[in-house]
Structure formats: C-alpha cells, structure tokens
C-alpha cells in the first residue's frame, strides 16, 4: 500500500485524559434502563435500496488494483463495502499521527462507482507500537500472564490507556469522515466478545461495579450466599475474580460467576458506548451498528444493542458439514438477531466460499451462497455483505475464501453473488417496510444461558441445544418465531415457549402465569425456575411459582447417565413411542393431564413425561425430560399450534423452509429448498417476483432454489 502523508497531530497529556476517564459512567448495565423498547433507525431509509456488497480490504492489495476491484463490484451490482476494521496501524502509524489519505482515495473511487461505505472503528487489533508502549492494554489470562501481542482481540477493556486510545482514534476518524458522502455508517470494532481479562484493574473495576450494584457488603454476601463455605467478605477489596471455568473443576461460587459474567458483558458495552457517543456527537447523520455473532455467550446482546441503530451479524452456516444440510441454526440466528431490537438487521459478513484458518471446510456448492442470502432475507435481513471480497494471500485467514479467489478472477462465486445483487433490485420495492411478524415467541434469557454454562445441571444441558429442539420443529412446521427477552410483553403472542428457563425471577413467573390465565399457550420444560436472579436455588418445590399454571408438582428429579435411555409412550392425545435421555423430572400431575408417560421402568411409572393443564383461559404444557426423536417435537409443536389456534399457511416438505415478510400493505412468502432434490410445494395465489410468474397451487423448486411470492 502506498501512503500519502497527511498528519494530524494530537498532543494529549495522558494524565488529563485519565482524569476524564475517571469520571466516565460506570453504572452497571443491570442498573440502567430496564425498558425493552428502543428508538431505532431502519437499516435502509426509504430512498436507499437493499444493501449488497463485500467486506473489502484495500490495504491488502496494491493501489493499482483498487479500481479493478471496485469496477468488478459495480458490475456485480454491489452498492456497499465495509472497510478498515483491522487497519488501525495504517490510520495511526505512530501515536497521535493520523493518516487517512489512503482511505480517502478508496472512498473517492467508491464514489465514482456509486458504492457506499461502512467504516469501522479499528480497535479489534491494536498496533504493535501500542502494545509495546502500553503493556497494560493487553489482557491478562487466568494464569496471571499477559496475552502476547501478535493476534487480534487481545485488549483489556478496563484499562484507561486502551479506552483512551480507542476514543482518540474514533474521534479522529469521525472528524475526518463526517462529511464524506460515501460513508453511510459505522461498525464499531469487530465481533465484541471478550476478553475475560483478569488484571488488577479489572479486579478493581469488578469491585466498584459490585459496590454500585449492591450498595453494602451485607447485601452482596447475602445475594451470593457467602455463608456457604464461610466465604463472607469483610471489605470490598477482598473480592477476587471468580474462577469461572466451565465443568466439574470450577470451584467458585456460582453466584459470583454469574455477576462476573454480567460484569464482563458490561465492560464490552461500556467500551462500545464510549465510541458510539463520539460518533453520534460528530456524525449524527450516520448509522452505528456492530457485527454480532450468532448465539455468542460473552455479552448480553439485548443490553449491548440498545446503543446501536440496528443489529448486524456474521453468518457462517457451513461448519464441518460433509454435504449441504438444512441450516436451521442460520434461520434461528436470524430470528434471534431480529428479536434483539424487534427490527430488521444487516448481514455484515456473509459466507462467500470455503472457510478455514488452518484447514478448509467444504466449499459452498453451486446455488448455496445464494440460498444463504435468501434465507436471511426471508427472516428480516435488509442487506448483506459478503465476507470477503478477495481471498487474502497472507495471514491466518488465507483459507477463508471470499467472492474472488487468491487469483482475483471473477469466477463462479462472483457470478452467483452478482445474480443475487441483481435479483435484489427486483425485490427492493416489495421488501420496503416489511418484516417478519410472528404469533410464536421463544424466550432467550442471558441469565439463564450464563447460569447454565456455570452449572448445566446435567452434562448435556446447554441452552442453544435445548432451544433448537423446539425451534427446528417450528421450522419444519413452516412457522416463524420471534426470540424475546423475559421482560417482553408476552400478550403480543399466542404461543410462548420458555425452554430451560432456569433463572426465573418472580416477576417473570407471574407474567407467564398471567399470560396463560388470559388465554395464552405456554410451553416449558425441565430445569425451569430452579434459580433466582442471584443464581441461588429458589427455596420452593419445583416448578415454583409456575406450579398452578402448569398443574404439576416436582418433588424429585434425576440426571440420567450417558447411554441410559427410558421408553416413553404418548397417550391418546399425543400418539407415538419415544426415548427419554439425559434427565428426568419426577413429575406428579395435580390438575394437569398426562400426555406421555414412562414405560418399563417401575420407579418412573407414577410420573408423567409430558403434561398439559388448563389454567384460566389458556393452556400450559410441561415436558419433564429430553426426548431423542424429532418426531416427538414435531408432534408437540403441532399440538401447541392447535391449542394456540395458529394455522400455518403451508405445511412444507422436509427441507423446505417457509417464511413470511409483511407490512406496508405487502405480504411476501419465501419458499426455500434446502435439499439437493427437487421439491414440490403447494402455494397460494400470488406472483413469484423473481420470474414474474403467477402461482396458484403446486410449484417446483430445484436444488437450493427459492421462490419469493407476493400474495
Ligand atoms: C469473523 C470475523 C472476521 C473474519 C471471519 C473469518 O468472525 O469477524 O474478521 O475473521 O470471522 O475468520
């Protein structure tokens, strides 16, 4: 890369800035705004088409190549690139001296080809000079040693040094790019999610955070149950960073571990907020977003995304699969991302080729990367950016392929990407103002996710796997779902699924009871309501405050050893024979009826595997075990949908996905064939927007083919 030099000197006295920093907001997020509502900017204002483009790294290539790249993007129909998230060193090659000319040149070229830019704060990789000069910027590992510089995402989020340097580069960039018409918005950093630093500054910050949260040590000792093992603190300074290793050797108090997790999540949020405040002050006309990771457990994304205009995420659905398979997880990820702000989202990194840091994963087959785009569009994406434009020849991601290969030629994947971009132009007008609306909600709660990580209860228990049993069955039934936090308004939904809702605050339990009483259908399952918000066990017989609504009593329960299975058979209303594994609640129905029971095991005979209760005007279901067969979950979802009076528009064949986007007087039905076989699906009267053909009855979809039908 050839750099022209424009130097912006900042003479900053570190001490002054440290004073500024000391006055920064340190209110724990948990103590901040409790509301689930947030004012948001849509991904695209009315005059901007659906975004489609590439993550572009001009700094990896000679300047002479840039125009060829950008022209190729234009020819493909791209209208956006993301830039600069790892180029701090090129923007601030020595401390306080800024060089943006090279990026200005790229932006000029983009302007010439009518392509927008999203620029990133570059704090995911600190320059070498920074690590050398300010070693406390590097995170400290659990063994007390510092991370050695040489990769990325290795900073401490507490140290004033790194926070100040981050604010300074953000301010310099914002000032420099604020009036550039090509720039439409910002991505903060890259995939926030760490670093679990254990330095002395983090420890002191943790103590301060706890002091703000609890006020007195008595309250903290009580909340954490520090009478156990006599772990009472007598001064704040005694508080240590808990050992939050997952598994049987973790010995720290689970309540301390949960607060540590909340604290580290908050550190990330605070770090990002410092950048966002600067961008909003200087560039109020730009959007701010961040590229999230599907179901990442490090940060409470509900809190984290409150500060963003909209959510973006990185979609890599091919992991270890030998051949294409139904990407349930990518659909769930999209619904989850939409749920964070109850708004459409952007795909900031979209799979463009084979993945791999050391070894290659499978190359997406013809039609597959197009399918990934339509799947996301169907679930509320308002644009998508391929990762990456051209496969790099150097560094750890040499095998993480882009739209172009190492050779830079516009080949098969380029043509497929161009096809998508051109098709999006046909859909623009129809997609405007549409999103997914669902009658079904799945509760996704970070306290639960974290508490299960700290103590899964039974070894196979993790929230994502549990949730997916139900989500995948909804997918197979052709029904959209929203993911919601525990503070959401349940009355917007007909059916609420609360799988494994392990941490259950009394208020939430009461809201769920009310939801059922007023006519809602609730489903929940084993380990619900075991813990309170401090990660202490509720001193109640399970399922605690939900007992009346569920009409059951659970006095005892048992984990089930690996390879041990029990037979379960459905009763009249719930046909089929199934297999229970992992865990069994010894459920005694009180008012509830038994829909499935254990067979063959005398000790389980008195107990129910699946129950249903009528409570007020609604119904409440409970599954007391984990069932092996998908057929169980398919039957369950069928029954739940019937109880909730939800009637899917189409019952798709296995492997065909159905999703509806609606709003603004439009209703668009997406039908996506994830299989390698031809599939026939019966659809209502409408117009297929990609072909312009009228539909009414069966349509045939070839391998990976999609239909977007305007109803
Ligand atoms: C993402 C990350 C990108 C790139 C990609 C491939 O998680 O945001 O920067 O590293 O993975 O490894």
- Residue 92: how many other CB atoms lie within 10 Å: 24
The phi, psi pair for 224, rounded to 5°, reads -90, -5
Kindly give the distance from the C-alpha atom of residue 137 to the centroid of ligand 1, in angstroms, as a whole number: 22
Cis amide leading into 353 (omega within 30): no
Q: List the beta bridge partners of residue 622.
A: 524, 611
The pick from 387, 397, 402 for probing ligand 1's pocket by mutation, whose C-beta has the most ligand atoms within 8 angstroms, reads: 387
Q: Is the pLDDT of residue 18 over 50?
A: no
State the distance from the centre of ligand 1 to the C-alpha of 660, rounded, in angstroms: 30
Is 189 near ligand 1, meaning CB less than 6 Å away?
Answer: no
Cα–Cα distance, 425 to 418 (Å, whole number) = 11
Q: What is the DSSP code (8-state) at residue 565? A: -
Phi-psi region of 177 (alpha: psi -120 to 50; beta: other; left: phi over 0): alpha
Whether the predicted pLDDT of 19 surpasses 50: no
- Write the residue with the smallest CA distance to atom 9 of ligand 1: 190
pLDDT value at residue 246:
61
Task: Give dist(CA 283, CA 264) in Å, integer.
Answer: 28
| C-alpha 321 to ligand 1 mean position (Å) | 19
pLDDT score of 698 more than 90: yes
Does pLDDT of 22 surpass 70? Answer: no
Domains of the chain: 49-125+152-196+286-431 (3.20.20.80), 440-643 (3.40.50.880), 656-710 (2.60.40.1180)
Cβ-contact 583, 624 below 8 angstroms: no
- Please name the residue ranges forming H helices in 113-253: 128-133, 160-177, 200-214, 217-223
Mean pLDDT throughout 363-377? 97
- Give pLDDT tens digits for 632-650: 999 999 999 999 999 999 9
Percent of the chain with pLDDT over 70: 93
CA separation for the pair 371, 475 (Å, rounded) = 16
Which pLDDT score, from 0 to 100, does residue 234 have?
A: 97
- Most informative mutation of 83, 397, 398 for ligand 1 (most atoms within 8 A of CB): 397
> Which pLDDT score is estimated for 248?
53
Mean pLDDT of 647-668: 95
Q: Dump pLDDT digits (tens) for 27-85.
A: 343 333 344 443 445 798 888 999 999 999 999 999 999 999 999 999 999 999 999 99
Predicted local confidence at residue 303, as pLDDT = 98
CA–CA distance, 231 with 574 (Å, rounded to integer): 49
Ligand 1 touching residue 397 (CB < 6 A): yes
Assign 320 a pLDDT band (cuts: 50, 70, 90). Answer: confident
* Average pLDDT estimate for 198-216: 97
Q: State pLDDT tens for residues 180-196.
A: 999 999 999 999 997 88
- % the chain with pLDDT above 90: 89
pTM of the model as a whole? 0.94
Average pLDDT, the chain: 93
Kindly give the distance from the C-alpha atom of residue 169 to the centroid of ligand 1, in angstroms, as a whole number.
Answer: 22
Q: Which residues are catalytic?
A: 191, 349
Q: What is the pLDDT of residue 189?
A: 98
> Residue 251: which pLDDT band, with cuts at 50, 70 and 90?
confident
Q: What is the pLDDT of residue 285?
A: 95
- Mean pLDDT calculated for residue range 290-302: 97
The C-alpha angle 578, 579, 580, rounded to 5 degrees, equals: 125
Does the beta carbon of 349 lie inside 6 Å of ligand 1? yes
Tens of pLDDT, residues 466-522: 999 999 999 999 999 999 999 999 999 999 999 999 999 999 999 999 999 999 999
- Which pLDDT score, from 0 to 100, does residue 196 have? 87
Distances (CA, A) of 431 to 373, 427, 438, 711: 14, 6, 17, 13
The response to whether residue 400 sits with its C-beta less than 6 Å from ligand 1 reads: yes
Please identify which residue in the block is written with the tokens 């161009």. Answer: 418
Q: pLDDT digit string (tens) for 379-404?
A: 999 999 999 999 999 999 999 999 99
For ligand 1, whether the C-beta of 314 sits within 6 Å is yes
Closest ligand 1 atom to residue 86 Cα is 9
Output the CA 192–ligand 1 centroid distance in Å: 12
What distance in angstroms lies between residue 293's CA and the mean position of ligand 1's atoms?
A: 10
- Best probe residue, ligand 1, of 86, 347, 349 (max atoms within 8 Å of C-beta): 349
Ligand 1 contact, 191 CB (< 6 A): yes
């Amino acid at each position: 890369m050839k750099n022209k030099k424009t130097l912006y000197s900042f003479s900053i006295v570190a001490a002054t800035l440290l004073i500024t920093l000391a006055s920064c907001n340190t209110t724990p997020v948990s103590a901040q705004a409790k509301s689930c509502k947030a004012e948001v900017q849509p991904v695209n204002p009315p005059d901007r088409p659906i975004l489609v483009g590439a993550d572009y790294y001009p700094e990896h290539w000679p300047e002479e190549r840039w125009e060829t790249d950008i022209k190729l993007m234009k020819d493909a129909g791209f209208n956006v690139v993301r830039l600069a998230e790892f180029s701090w060193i090129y923007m601030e090659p020595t401390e306080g001296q800024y060089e943006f000319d090279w990026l200005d040149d790229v932006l000029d070229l983009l302007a010439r080809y009518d392509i927008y830019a999203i620029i990133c704060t570059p704090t995911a990789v600190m320059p070498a000079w920074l690590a050398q000069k300010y070693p406390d910027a590097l995170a400290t590992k659990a063994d007390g040693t510092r991370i050695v510089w040489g990769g990325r995402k290795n900073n401490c989020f507490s140290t004033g040094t790194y926070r100040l340097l981050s604010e300074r580069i953000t301010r310099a960039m914002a000032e420099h790019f604020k009036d550039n018409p090509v720039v439409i918005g910002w991505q903060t950093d890259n995939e926030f999610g760490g670093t679990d630093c254990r330095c002395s500054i983090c420890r002191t910050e943790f103590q301060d955070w706890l002091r703000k949260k609890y006020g007195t040590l008595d309250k903290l000792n009580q909340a954490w149950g520090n009478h156990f093992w006599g772990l009472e603190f007598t001064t704040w300074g005694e508080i240590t960073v808990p050992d939050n290793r997952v598994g049987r050797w973790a010995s720290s108090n689970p309540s301390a571990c949960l607060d540590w997790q909340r604290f580290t999540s908050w550190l990330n949020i605070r770090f990002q907020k410092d950048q966002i405040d600067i961008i909003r002050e200087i560039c109020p006309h730009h959007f701010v977003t961040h590229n999230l990771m599907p179901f990442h457990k490090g940060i409470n994304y509900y809190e984290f995304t409150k500060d963003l205009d909209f959510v973006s995420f990185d979609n890599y659905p091919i992991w270890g699969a030998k051949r294409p398979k139904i990407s349930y997880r990518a659909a769930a990820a999209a619904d989850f991302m939409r749920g964070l702000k109850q708004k459409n989202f952007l795909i900031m990194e979209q799979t463009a080729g084979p993945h791999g840091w050391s070894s290659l994963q499978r190359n997406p087959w013809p039609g597959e990367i197009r399918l990934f785009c339509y799947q996301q569009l169907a679930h509320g994406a308002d644009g998508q950016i391929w990762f990456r434009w051209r496969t790099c020849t150097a560094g750890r991601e040499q095998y993480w392929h882009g739209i172009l290969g190492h050779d830079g030629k516009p080949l098969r994947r380029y043509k497929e990407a161009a096809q998508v971009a051109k098709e999006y132009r046909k859909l623009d007008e129809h997609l405007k103002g549409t999103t997914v609306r669902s009658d079904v909600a799945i509760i996704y709660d970070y306290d639960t996710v974290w508490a299960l990580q700290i103590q899964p209860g039974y070894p196979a228990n993790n929230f994502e796997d549990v949730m997916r049993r139900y989500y995948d069955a909804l997918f197979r039934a052709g029904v959209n779902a929203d993911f919601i936090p525990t503070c959401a308004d349940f009355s917007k939904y007909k059916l609420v699924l609360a799988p494994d809702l392990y941490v259950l605050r009394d208020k939430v339990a009461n809201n769920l009871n009310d939801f059922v009483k007023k006519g809602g259908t609730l489903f929940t399952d084993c380990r619900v309501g075991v813990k309170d918000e401090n990660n202490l066990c509720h001193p109640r017989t399970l399922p605690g405050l939900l007992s009346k609504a569920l009409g059951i009593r659970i006095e005892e329960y048992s984990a089930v050893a690996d390879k041990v299975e029990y037979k379960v058979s459905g009763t009249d209303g719930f046909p089929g024979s199934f297999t229970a594994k992992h865990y069994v609640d010894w459920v005694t129905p009180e008012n509830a009826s038994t829909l499935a029971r254990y067979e063959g095991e005398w000790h389980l005979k008195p107990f129910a595997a699946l129950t249903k209760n009528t409570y007020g005007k609604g119904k409440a279901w409970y599954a007391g075990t984990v069932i092996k067969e998908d057929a169980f979950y398919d039957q369950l979802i069928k029954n739940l949908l019937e109880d909730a009076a939800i009637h899917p528009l189409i019952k798709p064949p296995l492997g065909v996905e159905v999703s509806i986007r609606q709003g603004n007087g439009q209703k668009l039905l997406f039908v996506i064939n994830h299989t390698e076989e031809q599939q026939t699906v019966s659809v209502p009267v409408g117009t297929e927007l990609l072909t312009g053909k009228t539909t009414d009855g069966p349509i045939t979809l070839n391998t990976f083919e999609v239909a977007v039908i305007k109803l």
